[in-house]
Structure 1
Amino acid sequence: MLRTGQTYREGLRDGREIWIDGERVKDVTTHPAFKPIVDIRARMYDMAHEERYASALTYQDGQERNSIFYRPPRQQQDWQDKVRAVDLVMNDIGGVVTRVGDETVGEMWSLMDGRDVLSEIDSRFDANIDRHIKAVFDNDIFHVSANTDPKGDRSRPPQDQDPDMMVRVVRETDAGIVIRGAKYETAAAYADQAFLKPTFGAWVNDKLSDYALGCIVKMGAPGVKHICRSGFAGRGSAEDYPLANKFDEVEALVIFDDVLIPWEDVFFYRHTKAAQFIRSTLHRYSAFPYVHRLLYVADMLIGAAMWNARQTGLDKLDAVKAKLADLVCYREGINAHLTASIAAAQESPGGLLMPHQSMLYAGRVFACSNLPQMMHIARELCGGQICVTPNAASFAAEESGAWLKKFYTLNDQWSAEDRRKLLAFARDLLNSDYAGHRLTFVQFAQAPHFNHLNAVYHSFDFKGPLDFVRKSAGLSENILG
């Protein structure tokens, strides 16, 4: 069942408790901090119903058409279809959004892969996994994931401080478990549900723990409270901050104040072995769309830098060409990792087709760790005018606008207004509060950098290099152990 933008908006009017800047939000679909990004998500739902997009964004599943983003991947074409669909969406909306559902549904597929392991640990919740995966693509659910806890003092177990610093189960009932705590999450305030999974703490060495929990939480459920950071939309005009006013994906500290989780929404509970297993496999699919989004960020860096160089003729200088080539190498490096991870895709334990794991994780390290440097290169190429240019109101005013038109008009091709728009875009991409926020988000959204490297270490097959050196160095087979 494909939703429309309107049905999506109606689903958000469920009485959910949302706070921002000390204000209780009456309607998340119309509040100025949320409306732009809600409209983007609604636009994505509507695109699937339009003739020019429907064949690429949906697929036939029995009698129903479902979203291509939520189809579990079983062959390379499935991944290629997802890549094409993302390309159509990003080009239609004219920017980059990360949390829209396809990048988190992969975590559910990881649960599918781990079904046998989880069943061995605790078979009570085995059927819940398949049912929830089916529910997501049957009902076109906007599904996100609850990321990290406040944690408190990380040198101490949660039991030795305020125990709610990490999400925990406080009691069991006939209807389900009751949880307390909090999670930081992007897009939770305007999503349907979240996959709440554990963040490791000092409890992981225990065999059983009330902190070892994986479940589905409805974002409008009683006791769920969204306390959001200040939004970037509305801080300045859309003319001056075109990205911040359209694509801000508002994060929230989501409070779980004695929230009832029905038993049918629980995937694992109390067994720390289950929690450790899921954390180790969590990103085997979701890392792909996460890295894929950075390909479009790279395109924006290249486009903004290239246009700024061209407008003044600096693109003819070899030094400028070299810096533009650095941006191209970054972009194509991301593209190469993504392409190779699908070309060499591996069958997962659950019978799905997962991107080649070490190639994908290495691509994530490449894309995230090099982004700060690439942003600085783009900043250099755009020049100092992105930090000194007056705002749109100054260009529009009669007296100041006349002077600005004089000094910002280059030739018949580059009017003052086009230059202002380009500089405003580059400023919002590279220099604004929104730009800094997005850079930090990229560094931590899936995990800190050391965890990215840890994933590479554990997914890479060291046998080939070890065998090559053993034979080349003439080492005995005794060292194999």
Structure 2
Amino acid sequence: MLRTGAQYRDSIRDGRRVWINGERVNDVAAHPAFRPLVDIRARIYDMQHDAATREVMVATDATGREVATGLALPYAKADWYAKRRAVDTMMDAFGGVVSRLGDETIGEMWSLHDGAGVLTSIDTHFAGNIQPHIDRILDQDLFHVSANTDPKGDRSKRPQEQDPDMLLHVVRETDAGIIVRGAKYETAAAYANQAFVKPTIANWGDAKLSEYAVGFISNFSAPNMKFICRAGFAGRGSVEDYPLSNRLDEIDTLVIYDDVLVPWENVLFNRHTAAAAFIRSTLHRYAAFPFLQRILRFADLLIGAALLNVRQTGLDKQPAVQDKLVQLARYREGIDAHLIAAIETAQESPGGLCMPNQSLLYTGRLLGCGEMHNAIHLARELCGGQICVTPSAADFANPETEAWLNKFYSVNENWQAEDRRKLLAYARDLMNSDYGGHRLTFHLFAQSPPYAQAGAVYRNFDWERSAGIVARAAGLSEAVDGRKEAAA
């Protein structure tokens, strides 16, 4: 069933307990902090039924059913290009970047699909729960997100040496399922349907079993759950002055599990540290692709804002300015090259899916996240100081000040004050506002911190190929092929 926007709105009017700015929210779909993103998610559902976008937004999967393009399991390279087109279509419609829409988190379920055999070898009880949940997401067109990060507490101590709730854990088992307690941070949780919840802890020590090594599907309509949200950016200024803050702010939530029952059919692994470690190591093998594609779109926004500004001010022919634009283009094209190459050199996954080349995908992610701050600074420099000193739209409309601002913000006959103001407002919100700073930090940590992203590259790059080339070229007797030494 392909949902409509109205059906999605009804699905989150389930009595969930949500707070923001010290206020209990009665209707998430109508609250001004959440409504912009609820409307966007609803619009995506409606785009699946709109004749103008249906062909891009809807796919026919291997079983012959119609499903959302972003949720369809990938079996061929063409499936990944279709997903790229769908994401681009959505971002074009919104005029900015929206990260948590479901298509970038469903890939974690595909990683579970690939790992079913490994999980069965660890614990035979739960691997059979994976495929039904993937089918359920496809059949019901659910807004499915991901819950990873715990509050953590004092990280110099083991979880057992402090308040145990600092990491989500299993309190007890019952005939109906497991009871969990703790908390998770998750973007979009307050207005999503469910999440794949899994641990972030990496150092399990020698323990084979741990109450913290648990993974499950969390139904956000379940009792004993609380959603405490960070303050939103919408409403802090006018839409004219902050067009992104007021339309595209994705609210992050601390999801409290206060002795929540997780039915056995929703449990994917329970107390096994080996299963938890395996899932953490493969979690982003698919999800990193749509995440990186969004960084590509962000790079396009930076380039567009910078380029239009230097064109407005007549500096686009200056070699020094062109050099900085080229640096932004290099950043952008580097990301795009990794995405294309990851598809074109894709591998068959253990579960028979078309898996983007892992080394290229993870090095691309490291490039996109690691160089983002430099790209933002370059774009700021090209946009100039006016993005931080320009008066508000209300002053441009005020009869007492309008004439002066029209005089000083009109560049020439092609670039009048209103277009100049709109560009500077967009650039300011993209790079300099609370929203802009939040996006930079979000991309830095959304799919694990930089050291963990580097670790993914280390685990997936073919080091032995390079070692073997040098070993053979140098005539080394014991390591003619680097793989032999590695195997030994």
Which TM-score bucket, shorter chain as reference?
over 0.9
Deviation string, structure 1 residues 263-316 (Cα, Å, up to 9, x no partner)? 000000011000000000000000000000011000000000000000011001
Deviation string, structure 1 residues 1-50 (Cα, Å, up to 9, x no partner)? 10011100010100001110110011111111100011111111110101
Q: Which 5+ residue runs of structure 1 have no aligned equivalent?
A: none
What's the counterpart of residue 435 of structure 1? 436
Which stretch has the larger CA shift, 86-95 or 335-344?
Answer: 86-95
What's the counterpart of residue 8 of structure 1? 8
Q: CA deviation at 1:460?
A: 1.1
What's the counterpart of residue 422 of structure 1? 423
The residue identity in structure 1 corresponding to 2:298 is V
- Determine the C-alpha separation between the residues in 1 that align with 2:210 and 2:274: 10
2:258 is the alignment partner of 1:257: yes
Deviation string, structure 1 residues 190-242 (Cα, Å, up to 9, x no partner)? 00000000111554531100100000001121111110000001111110000
What's the counterpart of residue 337 of structure 1? 338
Q: CA deviation at 1:77?
A: 0.5
Secondary structure of residue in 1 paired with 2:70: helix
Q: CA deviation at 1:363?
A: 0.1
- Determine the C-alpha separation between the residues in 2 that align with 1:404 and 1:87: 36
Secondary structure of residue in 2 paired with 1:69: coil
CA contact (8 A) 1:44 1:89 kept: yes
Deviation string, structure 1 residues 333-380 (Cα, Å, up to 9, x no partner)? 000000000000011111111100000000000000000000000000
The residue identity in structure 1 corresponding to 2:243 is P
The residue identity in structure 2 corresponding to 1:272 is T
What's the counterpart of residue 368 of structure 2? 367
What's the counterpart of residue 145 of structure 2? 144
What's the counterpart of residue 475 of structure 2? 474
The residue identity in structure 1 corresponding to 2:26 is K
The residue identity in structure 2 corresponding to 1:52 is A
CA contact (8 A) 2:468 2:479 kept: no
What's the counterpart of residue 161 of structure 1? 162
Secondary structure of residue in 2 paired with 1:315: coil
CA contact (8 A) 2:202 2:277 kept: no
- Determine the C-alpha separation between the residues in 2 that align with 1:44 and 1:473: 57
- Determine the C-alpha separation between the residues in 1 that align with 2:357 and 2:60: 27
2:220 is the alignment partner of 1:211: no
- Determine the C-alpha separation between the residues in 2 that align with 1:386 and 1:469: 51
- Determine the C-alpha separation between the residues in 2 that align with 1:224 and 1:446: 24
Q: CA deviation at 1:55?
A: 1.1
What's the counterpart of residue 56 of structure 1? 56
Secondary structure of residue in 2 paired with 1:306: helix
- Determine the C-alpha separation between the residues in 2 that align with 1:203 and 1:167: 14
CA contact (8 A) 2:180 2:260 kept: yes
Secondary structure of residue in 2 paired with 1:477: coil
Q: CA deviation at 1:462?
A: 1.5
CA contact (8 A) 2:165 2:183 kept: yes
- Determine the C-alpha separation between the residues in 2 that align with 1:87 and 1:478: 47
With normalisation by structure 1, the TM-score equals 0.99
The residue identity in structure 2 corresponding to 1:287 is A
Q: CA deviation at 1:463?
A: 1.9
Higher helix share: 1
Q: CA deviation at 1:60?
A: 2.8
CA contact (8 A) 1:69 1:102 kept: yes
- Determine the C-alpha separation between the residues in 1 that align with 2:106 and 2:375: 29
What's the counterpart of residue 347 of structure 1? 348
Q: CA deviation at 1:143?
A: 0.4
Deviation string, structure 1 residues 124-173 (Cα, Å, up to 9, x no partner)? 11211000011111111100010210111111111110000000010111
CA contact (8 A) 1:156 1:202 kept: no
What's the counterpart of residue 89 of structure 1? 90
CA contact (8 A) 2:471 2:479 kept: no
2:55 is the alignment partner of 1:40: no
Secondary structure of residue in 2 paired with 1:214: strand
What's the counterpart of residue 268 of structure 1? 269
CA contact (8 A) 1:154 1:201 kept: no
Secondary structure of residue in 2 paired with 1:103: coil
2:321 is the alignment partner of 1:320: yes
The residue identity in structure 1 corresponding to 2:4 is T
CA contact (8 A) 1:157 1:202 kept: no
2:55 is the alignment partner of 1:23: no
Do the aligned partners of residues 170 and 115 (structure 1) sit closer, same or farther apart at CA in structure 2, a change above 3 Å counting?
A: same
The residue identity in structure 2 corresponding to 1:471 is R
The residue identity in structure 1 corresponding to 2:28 is V
Q: CA deviation at 1:52?
A: 1.2
What's the counterpart of residue 280 of structure 2? 279
Where do 1:68-467 residues align within 5 Å? 68-200=69-201, 202-467=203-468
Q: CA deviation at 1:63?
A: 6.3
Name the Cα RMSD after superposition. Answer: 1.1
CA contact (8 A) 2:213 2:271 kept: yes
CA contact (8 A) 2:240 2:425 kept: yes
The residue identity in structure 2 corresponding to 1:451 is A
Do the aligned partners of residues 64 and 112 (structure 1) sit closer, same or farther apart at CA in structure 2, a change above 3 Å counting?
A: closer
Deviation string, structure 1 residues 392-427 (Cα, Å, up to 9, x no partner)? 111111111121111111222111111110000000
Q: CA deviation at 1:64?
A: 3.9
Paired positions, count:
481
- Determine the C-alpha separation between the residues in 1 that align with 2:254 and 2:232: 14
CA contact (8 A) 1:17 1:220 kept: no
- Determine the C-alpha separation between the residues in 2 that align with 1:465 and 1:64: 45
- Determine the C-alpha separation between the residues in 2 that align with 1:325 and 1:410: 25
Do the aligned partners of residues 465 and 18 (structure 1) sit closer, same or farther apart at CA in structure 2, a change above 3 Å counting?
A: same
With normalisation by structure 2, the TM-score equals 0.97
Secondary structure of residue in 1 paired with 2:29: coil
Secondary structure of residue in 2 paired with 1:225: strand
